[in-house]
Amino acid sequence: MKVLIRADASVAIGSGHVARCLTLAKVLRLAGAQPVFACRALPGHALAVIAGQGFETVALPAGYKDEMTGDIEAALPWRADLDALQAALPGQRFDWLLVDHYGLGAAWQTGARSLADRIAVVDDLANRPHDADLLLNQNLNAEASAYAGQLPSTCRLLLGPRHALLRPEFNVGPVEIAPRAKRLLVSFGGADAQGETFKVMTALADLDELEVDFVAGAANPAWPALTQALVGREHWRLHRHVDDFAGLMARADLFIGAGGGTSWERAALGLPSICIAIAANQVGNAERLALAGAHLYLGQADAVTAEMLRAAVSLLAGNVGLRHSLAARSRALVDGKGAARVAAALLTGALRLRPATSADAQLLFDGRNAAEVRRWSLNDAAIDWDGHLAWLQRSLANAERALLVAEAPDGPVGVLRYDRIEPQRAEVSIYLLAGREGRGWGQALLAAGDRWIAEYWPGLQAIAAVVKPANVASLKLFQALGYRQQDCHFERTPPF
């Protein structure tokens, strides 16, 4: 599967769009996909960083003839950008085009269908229409109602921090909450055009008991002033590049940063945080996280003073109960598996269903006997090998049973079994193989299976299922696919 990713980084834009797309691209590559990045060669671009991660890159012109002044991202002339993209990729076609850019909306997306079969959009704003087949908004305040009338009716929505695009190193255990905070980490992204890092340095100038790591980023325009501020402060360290940011976060007691993508990194680690919104699009999410008790939000950057920062740090450093509360509430929102879920949604188009054969005996035996599968099976007893082989032979010979194996580019994903209990009615059973759980594959697998069986048994008028009452994941799965529920019984009718 080929995926074209259109995102920009620059001193003005920052590196957040590219950073989260890189995270997703790495998961897609592990699954056998081929991501390609197309980015404008703006001052502070990330093309070399992307290429250094082993991805193919396409450099687009930094400026276009009719480019407007002002917001370098929102004011991007979409037609010129699309023309440049098409010219850079003559004759190429992709399975997906994923765009993460505030300046490229519905008109650009419609035109970009000349390059890709499907369009995916990463959106934080919910304030403009999109021509998309899939839309991701990982913010806590993301709601389907905000997109009413702005999307095609067939667009699939991935909403909320459950889908936050986090690198694997953030899917680890929580940080240790110290009785008193002694180590502080400060980061406002790769650019920090507003100068918040220097403001924090001013706020912490007389808090000598704190050991502080400042991550300013290679594109920070205030680097000379930041370097000068370190003079005489042996307990401060200034980092231009950090290979293990997650490790640095895990060793911190407190974090001060912006309301962008690092919000989810901090939440996944349970790192108590002070948040400042450095862009208007961060405000809603930062406020919602504060209401959820997940961080301490001070407001937008231009309204936050060094005195406010100093007071907030002093409060949190000495209040271990409050830090425990912030950590617990933030970790409840983010489990670190969002990139895998989004990748699974994109890979659905590459999911292949095939009838099982006798060569699948070991795969089916191990899958059915997995502890998590047995836990939720109506018959939760372990099966023996001889009994399994006999069952498989009967199943393969049974014209009223369809036993299917689902495969992604990186291998088997799950198993579906359909039994025709009446001429126009079938019952479905589904399970995912070990390691595939919790990543969104279930919905893709069941949707593909229902379409397959409707063609295999033409005239089918109902598909039924029975789920254990405590199996919340399966209950939600069947509900999401349009199955009507009565107690623990589900039924779906055409169209499948």
**In terms of domains, do 298 and 238 share one?**
yes
Domain stops at, among 112, 136, 168: 168
CATH number of the domain enclosing 391: 3.40.630.30
Q: State how many domains the chain has.
A: 3
User: Would you state the structure tokens that stand for residue 140, as one six-digit string?
Assistant: 């806590």
pLDDT of 72: 54
CATH number of the domain enclosing 121: 3.40.50.11190
Task: Confirm whether 13 is domain-assigned.
Answer: yes
pLDDT of 219: 67
Distance CA 142, CA 127 (A): 11
**Model pTM?**
0.74
Mind listing the pLDDT tens digit for each residue in 86-108? 999 999 999 999 999 998 999 99
Mind listing the pLDDT tens digit for each residue in 341-400? 898 889 887 789 999 999 999 999 999 999 999 998 888 889 999 999 999 999 999 999
**In terms of domains, do 138 and 246 share one?**
no
CATH number of the domain enclosing 318: 3.40.50.2000
Report the catalytic residues.
17
**In terms of domains, do 229 and 305 share one?**
yes
**In terms of domains, do 382 and 436 share one?**
yes
Ligand-binding annotation for 451, yes or no, is no
User: Which structural domain range is residue 476 located in?
Assistant: 351-492
Q: Are 442 and 477 in contact (CB under 8 A)?
A: yes
pLDDT of 376: 87
In angstroms, what CA-CA distances link 354 with 69, 75, 496? 54, 48, 18
pLDDT of 344: 84
**In terms of domains, do 23 and 150 share one?**
yes
**In terms of domains, do 51 and 156 share one?**
yes
Task: Confirm whether 339 is domain-assigned.
Answer: no
Domain stops at, among 168, 192, 216: 168
User: Would you state the structure tokens that stand for residue 244, as one six-digit string?
Assistant: 């293990």
Distance CA 278, CA 193 (A): 9
Q: Are 10 and 43 in contact (CB under 8 A)?
A: yes
Q: Are 27 and 340 in contact (CB under 8 A)?
A: yes
How many degrees, rounded to 5, is the angle at CA 480 between CA 479 and CA 481? 90
**In terms of domains, do 231 and 154 share one?**
no
65 pLDDT more than 80? no
CB atoms within 10 A of CB 465: 21
- Residue range 247-252: average pLDDT? 93
**In terms of domains, do 480 and 364 share one?**
yes
Q: Looking at the DSSP assignment, which residues form a beta bridge with residue 211?
A: 183
Ligand-binding annotation for 176, yes or no, is no
Q: Is 145 helix (H, G, I), strand (E, B) or coil?
A: helix
Domain stops at, among 114, 135, 168: 168
Task: Confirm whether 337 is domain-assigned.
Answer: no
Cis ω on the peptide bond leading into residue 423 (within 30° of 0)?
no
324 pLDDT more than 60? yes
What DSSP line would sit under 324-352, residue for residue? HHHHHHHHTT--S-HHHHHHHHHHGGG-E
pLDDT of 67: 43
pLDDT of 64: 60
